Amino acid sequence: MIPVQGVENQTIAVLGLGRSGRATAAALAAGGAHVVAWDDGADTREQAEQQGLRILDLTRDAHWEGISALITSPGIPHLYPKPHPVIAKAYELGIPVDNDIGLFFRSFATRDWESYDTTPRVIAITGSNGKSTTTALIHHILREAGRPTQIGGNIGTGVLSLDPAHDGEVVVLELSSYQTDLARALTPDIAVFTNLSPDHLDRHGGPGGYFAAKRRLFAEGGPDRAVIGVDEIEGRYLADQLAMAPSDDRVIRISSGLKLERFGWSVFARKGYLAEYRKGRQVAAIDLRDIKGLPGEHNHQNACAAYAATRALGLAPREIERAFHSFEGLPHRSQTVAEIGGVAWVNDSKATNADAAAKALTAFRNIRWIAGGLGKEGGIAALQPHLGHVTKAYLIGHSARDFALEIGQTPYEIAETMEQAVAHAAAEAQPGDTVLLAPAAASFDQYPNFEKRGEHFIALVRALQG
């Protein structure tokens, strides 16, 4: 646990008592704060009270007396589509609102660091797609190189549940737009922006607000190095805003497709090869084509981001390349589940929007595509240019019929459920085919989350093996 600094003897309110909320309350108490808490769920409040938390109904004006700050969980709206009533009340009263990410960055450094030989560092990764894989890959590279490291944030451990940093340790954090949007402190040593595609637009009031939430990671704290994916205009804009000139090597531009030779520092992948350029000259290259844990152009972009971040820490190219080969990937992200009778079964349940699904669809050939669920704004019509390798689509869930209207001439069937889709794909697949679950939709019509959807797919595939 990381005790929160600067809160001793203050009364701090915590809104939301899920995993991050409970961890935040404990970290505040460890820092000497008097913690009061509220959650909209009666059962959650009762459980928290049984665990010793003081529950205070923050919907009532009288209970705000003496409260010096409100710490809210990331999933609770603080601006769009409208603020939660408790957060709105804090604004009205002028009570500062923060989240656990802000508390982490203001509490991470301690006096113990004065005795360390190597100052601990923080790498923070944000973006629309690929941030979990990039975060896990950076953590993996550091471990393989023998560097002390922890991983947390939006993946794995909540930030305040991490251990205080050891000498020379690198903490790798995945940060969502929900987390970066509100944090009052954002000071990573290295910040990574993978890419941007439309997502969470209702929560951010549109694409501009969504990008602004991501941009805060770079604008608020001024990282020593910024690794920026420039395959979209937003990334090119961000890199331009941060760099003083094309030669400014504090900004490392990355791409999966663009040839970036004219900048002070760049890393890009083309035709399966990663190249690092410094001051217009190539200094390293890696063949990514046979790295099983990183299939497809989207994972090559993730590899570029992880390579750039760890190179910025001083790791050698060959150290990074060795770690690439031992990386097994993350569950539900282009995860090869099995090969049965010459047919590969791949679980990319995390592909919850069209952009993520497009990346998965370009990574394989002879695809039998399982897609559908609760479709997102904009649908999947944009996927038509990426369906050339799809032999047949098996459409499931709430938006199956809507998706059927948006995939052009691609053969399809309305399978309705995952069971039917897997059974029919198994019956029709030929050796050399890939059965790919890349839903391009949320899971909430049939599953509580994308993980459960992926786990169901895996269980059905395992059953085919007997």
- Please say whether the dihedral angle defined by the alpha carbons of residues 317, 319, 322 and 326, taken in this order, is positive or negative: negative
Cα(435)–Cα(453) distance, rounded to whole angstroms?
15
Residue ranges for the binding site for ATP? 127-133
Cα(377)–Cα(27) distance, rounded to whole angstroms?
38
Contacts of 308 (CB under 8 A, 6+ apart): 192, 227, 252, 254, 265, 267, 276
Q: Which of 19, 257, 215 is nearest to 126 (CA)?
A: 215
Q: DSSP strand E in 280-410: where?
A: 281-287, 335-340, 343-347, 367-372, 390-396
How is residue 33 written in tokens? Answer: 């704060």
Residue 41 carries which DSSP code?
-
- Identify whether 411 is preceded by a cis peptide bond (ω within 30 of 0): no
Residue 178 identity: Y
How many CA within 13 A on the CB side of residue 15?
27
Residue ranges for the binding site? 127-133
Q: DSSP strand E in 65-116: where?
A: 67-72, 97-98
How is residue 178 written in tokens? Answer: 């929900």
Are 439 and 418 in contact by the 8 Å Cβ rule? The answer is no
Q: Which of 424, 427, 418, 269 is nearest to 347 (CA)?
A: 418
| Residue found by looking up tokens 């992926």 in the block | 454
Q: Which of 81, 180, 85 is nearest to 124 (CA)?
A: 180
